[in-house]
Amino acid sequence: MTNYRYWLLIASSGWSFVSAVPCQMTHLVPSITLDSARSCVMQAAFLTQGTVSNIPTVLCWGGNIRPEGFLSFIMMLALIIVAVAIVVAVVLVVVASIIGIVVVVVRVPSIIKLSFVITGSMHRTTLYYLIHQHLGYLDGFL
């Protein structure tokens, strides 16, 4: 008697995959049809030492495809959106406070110089990360 272990993978796109790991030199030739939303009928031919046995097997799984299954994905997406919003808000507050300090302490013409410095460094950093790093220039910073 040969013992078999089965792995049934049913992807969300409708493709199904079956794999068998026999304990002896035995091959499994499966043919799978989806019976309904909850069951899968597998018609398999076992080839063992020259004999062929055709054994129908019905595999069932417990859950339906429901929106509750996507809850963790939706929660993770919401967490990422909230984290990005918090980072953007903190950056805006820091930039606004720097500009406010410059306006109060130094005077208005220095704001123009500061804006050029900020824009230039952002331009240089953006070019570095978008162009040079992808081309393999690791030590050259504009």
DSSP for 122-139, please give it. Answer: HHHHHHIIIIIHHHT--S
Query: Residue 80: its pLDDT value, please?
Result: 93
Which residue range(s) make up the domain with 43?
4-60
Same domain for 102 and 123?
yes
Question: 92 is written with which tokens?
Answer: 């805006």
Residue 86 falls within a domain, yes or no?
Answer: yes
Same domain for 80 and 128?
yes
Same domain for 56 and 114?
no
Reported as a single tens digit per residue, the pLDDT across 11-53 is 444 444 444 444 444 444 454 444 444 444 444 444 444 444 4
Phi, psi of 123 (to 5 degrees): -65, -45
In the chain, how many domains are there? 2
Same domain for 41 and 86?
no
Reported as a single tens digit per residue, the pLDDT across 57-74 is 444 444 555 666 667 888
Same domain for 93 and 128?
yes
Q: Is pLDDT above 70 for 88?
A: yes
Residue 77 falls within a domain, yes or no?
Answer: yes
